[in-house]
Structure 1
Amino acid sequence: MRLLHSKTLEFATFYGDATPPYTILSHTWGDEEVTFEDMRFIQKRKSLPEDLRRSPEFMLAFDAAARLLFPPNRDPEKLAGYEKIRKTAEIANRRGHRYFWIDTCCIDKSSSSELQEAINSMYSWYKKSAICIVYLEDVDISFPAGTWELAPGHLTRFAASLKSSRWITRGWTLQELIAPGRLTFYNKDWEPMISKYVAAAAISSATKIPPYVLATGQLHRASVAQKMSWAAKRETTRTEDMAYCLLGLFQVHMPMLYGEGQHAFLRLQHEILQNSDDNTIFAWEPLSSPMLPSIYRGLLARSPEAFSSTSKHQVERSYFTTEAKEGIRVDLEKAPLVLPSGEVYYVAILGSANGTKLSFGDIHHLKQFYMFLKQLDEPNNGRRKQYVRVMGIPNNAQHQVQHNILIFHAETICVRQQPIIPLNFETTEFSRFVLRPDTYSATGLPDIQAMTVWPLGLISEKKEIMIPSHSKDFTALVWLQEHFNSSVSNVQVLLKFTRFPRVGYWCDIITGKQWPKDRDSVDEWRKAIERNHSVKELAQRKRYRIGTRSEIRTVSIEPGIHADQICLFVNIDGLII
C-alpha cells in the first residue's frame, strides 16, 4: 500500500501488517485532481538542492521539461486537488498519524496491475484505516467546536445537507462509508461536523443502510438484495465501476476489464453466486414501465438500480444453484398458473414449499421470494427444461386467477441469461413484428426497402409493427421496393398473427395488386386482402421472384426477443433499414 507522509508529502510503500496507522480520505472527484504523476513531479521539484532551486536558468529548464508531461499552464501545486492533500495531511498530523492515503494520487493508474490490485483491495484499505475523513465540498453548515456531537437540531441539519450532497450519490463512496470503523464528516471549509457513530440514524435515513451496519461494518446479516439496494440510486462515471465499486461489500475479487460495459455487473453476480447461497440475488424488478407487455429476462439483473425496492429482503438460504453451459441451474419449488387465455406460467419459490397448497392471491403473504417463469422447450437428450423469467403479467389476468389453487413441487430448472427462443415457441404475448435488416446475406441480391405499412400508425422508426394487445388476430401489409438498374419493382408481404382459438403466425407474398387508399376503412382493407390474397395456405417461410429476373428472395418469420419483449422477427433477403 502506497501512503503519503503527513509532513514531507513523500510516498512510502508498506506491505501487510507492517502498514502503520493511517488517515484515509473519502471525497468526490473534481476536474482538478492531483494524480500520481503530479505528486511525483511535486516531490522531485521539492527535493532539488537549494542552489538549483535558486537558479532561474535551471528552474526554467525544469519547468520546460514539465510541460512535456503536463498540459500548458498546469501547475500541480495550484490545482484544487492539492488543497485536499494539504488539508488531509494537516488532519492526519493533528491526529498523530504519520501517513495518509488519497485515491487520486496514491495509485499509479498507468499501471493496470496496480489499478486492479487497488480496486480489489479498496474496501480492506478503508476498513483498516485509523480514521476516514469524509470531505463534503458542497456542504457549508458548521457547528460550534466542542458541542457538535450533542447539540439538538444538529442531526436534522446534517441529515438534510447529506441528502443533497453529491457525495451520497457516488458509487465508490458507498464502501467508503461502510468499511471504516471510525469516520468523521467535514464541511467545505474542512471543519469537523459529526461522526458516523453519532449520525448513524440520520445516515441510515438518507441511505437505507441499517444503523447496525454503519455502526459495526458487519455485513453478514445483510442480504445480497439489501446490499444491492444501497447502491441502486448511486452512479459512477464509467459503467463498469458500478460493479467494481461493490466488490468489497460482497467479499469477492475479479479482474478489471474496462470496455465490457454492463457485463461487469453480470460478472459480479456470477462471482457472488460462487461464494454465496443467498437467493435474494434474484429478487430484483425490471426498470421498464409496468404498462409494457411482459418482459422476458434471465435470472440476473443488469444494474444495481433493479434492486431499488429490495432494502427489506432478508437473507434466504434454502436452495442450490450452479452454473452450466445451458445457463443457471437452480433448485426451486414451482406451481403452474393457467391464465384465462390458456397461457401457462409457473410461480416459482426459491425456498422450501414442496407440497404446499395455496391460492394465487395468497402468494404475497409468503416469506420466501417468488417470481414468474415460462417454459421455453421440452427436455432433450438429457438436457433439462429451459425456462425464462417473465415480468409484467397483465394485472387484469392476475386478478382473474386470484382464487386459483397452486400446488408447489420441487424441480431443478435452467435459465439462460440471454434466453434462446425455440422456433416452435408459441404465446399470446407476441407484441410486434420486427423487420430485421439482412446483415448476413451472401446472395448478392439488390437492396430492398420497406416503404410503408398498413395499418397506419403501428410501425415505429425502427420498423417495428406493433400488435395490439387486445386483438384476437392481426394482419399487416408491408410494401417493399427494389431498385435494380433503372427499374423499380414492388411487392407486398402479408403478415398474420392469431391469438385465438390457437396461437399462430404466418407470412405470404402478394404482387401486382390494387389496394384501398391509406385512409379507407379497415373493412375495405380486409376485403382487399381477401380479394388479392388467393393462396389460402400460409407458411412461416416463403420464397418469391421479382419480375422476370431469376433471383429468388426468401421471407420468413421466427420468434425471438427484442428489447426484452417476445416478438416475431421478419427476415427478408437483402432488406435494409
Structure 2
Amino acid sequence: MIARRRKALQFVRRLPSGVHKKFERPLPRVRASDEICPPRMIHTVSLKLIEVSSNSPDTPTPQYAILSHRWNSRAGQEISYEEFLQSPRSRATKRKIGYQKILLGCKQARIDKLDYLWVDTCCIDQEDIGDVHQNIKSMFAYYQHSCVCYAYLADVDSDAELNDELTEYGTCHQPDTMIPKKVIDHEPPSLEFKHFKKSEWHRRGWTLQELLAPKEVFFFDQSWKYLGTRSVRAREIQSATGIPEDVIQGKTCIHDVNVKERMSWSTLRVTSKAPDQAYCLFGILGVTIEPDYSEDVKTAFNRLREAYIKQYPDKAIIEFGWHVYGGDIFSNLLKQISQRHVQGGPVKKVDLHELDANEWTE
C-alpha cells in the first residue's frame, strides 16, 4: 500500500516521452515574423549571461528555452541583470528565491538538451530604458521562437493537489482500493488540478502571450514537479482563462480569431504597471508601439488602437468598429467586463456588441 502511494505521489515528476530528445520545430502556431531571438541569454552550463550575435544567414538562431513566471511579491527576491553579472555571486544573491528559480530552470533546460535559457528578470537590464523597450516590443517573438517554454507556477503544490484527490476518492471507497488506478497508471492528464486552475499565473497580463506564443509549454509547480503540457492541460486552461481549447492546442491560429475575442482574453488579467495592460497585447494583436511608462492606461490603449487601425484598416472597421466607438472604448470595456466575472469561478463569455451604450463610459 505504501509503495503504491509513493508511486502515485511521484507521477508528477515524470516528463512525457520524447521530452529529452533534441527538439524539432513543428509548424508555427501563429504567423511568424522574421525570426527574432533574445539578444542575451543564460548559458545553462556555465550559468553566465551570453550575448547572442544578431541573426544573419550565416548565423543560425540558437535553440533555447524560455521561462514564464510571476515575479515574487517580496521586494528584492528576483535577480537583476547587474546581480547576475557579479562574479563571484554573493551568498545573498544565491539565497534569493529568484536565483533558485533560475538554477532549476537551467537544470531543466540541460535535461532537455538546450544550452540557453531566457529569463526576463536577469536578461533585461531594467536600468536601461532602451533595453527594456526593445525587449518588450520583441517579447512575443522571443516566446514564439523558443523551443519550449517552462511555466513556473509558484502558488501550485501538486502534492497537496494529489492528496486532495486521494482524500476525496477515499471517502467513497474501501481502504484496499484507496489509491485510484488512474493515479497509478497514468501521467498527469488523469487528474484535473483545481489548484492549477486557480493559479495567479492565469491572471497576469504578460502570461497571456507567454501561454499562446510558444511552440510548447511545460507546466511546473512550486517544487519544479512536472504538471503537464499546454495541450494536456487545455481544458483546465480554458476554464481558467476563457480561451478556446482549439486556440490553446494550436489548432486555430490566434491571428485568425476575431480581434474582439482576442482582446477579451485579457479582461481577467492584471499588470503591475498600468500601461502594461496595453503593451502585453502587442503580439496578440500583431502590432507594436513605443512603450512609455509615463502615460496612463487610457493613453496607451488609444495609441494601440491607432496602431492597429493603421496596420489593419479593414479589420479594424469590420471586426471592432473602433472608428465608431471612440478612443477610450477598450479601457472602459476592460473595466466593465472584468466586473462581470466571479473571482476563481468559470469565465463568462461576453459579446462586446451586447454591452449597453451606457457601459461605454465611466
- Whether TM exceeds 0.5 here: the answer is yes
Shift of 1:371: 8.3
User: TM-score under structure 2 normalisation?
Assistant: 0.70
SS in structure 1 at match of 2:107: helix
Query: Match for residue 245 of structure 1?
Result: 280
SS in structure 1 at match of 2:140: helix
SS in structure 2 at match of 1:220: helix
Shift of 1:248: 0.8
Query: Match for residue 319 of structure 1?
Result: none
User: Is contact 1:167–1:173 with CA below 8 Å preserved after alignment?
Assistant: yes
Query: Match for residue 235 of structure 2?
Result: 201
Give the direction of change, closer, same or farther, for the CA distance of 1:146–1:260 in structure 2 (3 Å limit).
Answer: farther
> Please, which of 119, 122, 135 is the counterpart of residue 136 of structure 2?
119
| Structure 1 Cα separation of the partners of residues 198 and 354 of structure 2 | 35
Query: Match for residue 11 of structure 2?
Result: none
Shift of 1:114: 1.1
| Structure 1 Cα separation of the partners of residues 354 and 221 of structure 2 | 45
User: Is contact 1:171–1:245 with CA below 8 Å preserved after alignment?
Assistant: yes
| Structure 2 Cα separation of the partners of residues 23 and 252 of structure 1 | 24
| Structure 2 Cα separation of the partners of residues 82 and 166 of structure 1 | 21
Q: Which amino acid aligns with 2:329?
A: L
Query: Match for residue 180 of structure 1?
Result: 214
Give the direction of change, closer, same or farther, for the CA distance of 1:312–1:219 in structure 2 (3 Å limit).
Answer: farther
Q: Which amino acid aligns with 2:117?
A: F
> Please, which of 127, 140, 152 is the counterpart of residue 135 of structure 1?
152
Structure index of larger Rg: 1
Q: Mean Cα displacement is larger for which, 229-238 or 162-171?
A: 162-171
Q: Which amino acid aligns with 1:39?
A: F
User: Is contact 1:228–1:307 with CA below 8 Å preserved after alignment?
Assistant: no
1:219 aligns with 2:254: yes
Give the direction of change, closer, same or farther, for the CA distance of 1:6–1:167 in structure 2 (3 Å limit).
Answer: same
1:45 aligns with 2:88: yes
User: Is contact 1:175–1:249 with CA below 8 Å preserved after alignment?
Assistant: yes
| Structure 1 Cα separation of the partners of residues 257 and 326 of structure 2 | 26
Q: Give the number of the structure whose residues are more often strand, by fraction.
A: 1
| Structure 2 Cα separation of the partners of residues 222 and 243 of structure 1 | 18
SS in structure 2 at match of 1:3: strand
Query: Match for residue 230 of structure 1?
Result: 265
| Structure 2 Cα separation of the partners of residues 212 and 101 of structure 1 | 27
Q: 1:190-211 CA distances to partner (integer Å, 9 max, x unpaired)?
A: 0101110111122112111111
Query: Match for residue 112 of structure 2?
Result: 95
1:271 aligns with 2:291: no
Shift of 1:265: 1.6
SS in structure 2 at match of 1:302: helix
* Map 1:37-436 → 2, pairs under 5 A: 37-41=82-86, 44-45=87-88, 75-142=92-159, 147-151=186-190, 154=191, 156=192, 158=193, 160-216=194-250, 218-262=253-297, 263-276=299-312, 277-278=314-315, 279-282=318-321, 300-302=329-331, 304-306=334-336, 311=349, 369=353, 390-391=357-358
Q: Which amino acid aligns with 1:148?
A: E
| Structure 2 Cα separation of the partners of residues 130 and 145 of structure 1 | 30
SS in structure 1 at match of 2:269: coil
* C-alpha RMSD of matched pairs (Å): 2.8
User: Is contact 1:224–1:281 with CA below 8 Å preserved after alignment?
Assistant: yes
Q: Which amino acid aligns with 2:141?
A: S
> Please, which of 49, 68, 72 is the counterpart of residue 11 of structure 1?
49
Q: How many residues align?
A: 279
User: Is contact 2:42–2:48 with CA below 8 Å preserved after alignment?
Assistant: yes
Q: 5+ residue gaps in structure 1?
A: 47-62, 64-73, 284-295, 315-368, 373-389, 394-563, 566-577
User: Is contact 1:149–1:195 with CA below 8 Å preserved after alignment?
Assistant: no
Q: 5+ residue gaps in structure 2?
A: 1-38, 163-182, 341-347
User: Is contact 1:33–1:80 with CA below 8 Å preserved after alignment?
Assistant: yes
User: Is contact 1:225–1:280 with CA below 8 Å preserved after alignment?
Assistant: yes
Which structure is higher in RCO with an 8 Å CA cutoff and minimum separation 6?
A: 2
Give the direction of change, closer, same or farther, for the CA distance of 1:29–1:298 in structure 2 (3 Å limit).
Answer: closer
> Please, which of 66, 88, 91 is the counterpart of residue 24 of structure 1?
66
| Structure 2 Cα separation of the partners of residues 199 and 89 of structure 1 | 23
Q: Which amino acid aligns with 2:88?
A: R
SS in structure 1 at match of 2:120: coil
* Map 1:419-498 → 2, pairs under 5 A: none
Shift of 1:163: 2.7
| Structure 1 Cα separation of the partners of residues 222 and 93 of structure 2 | 21
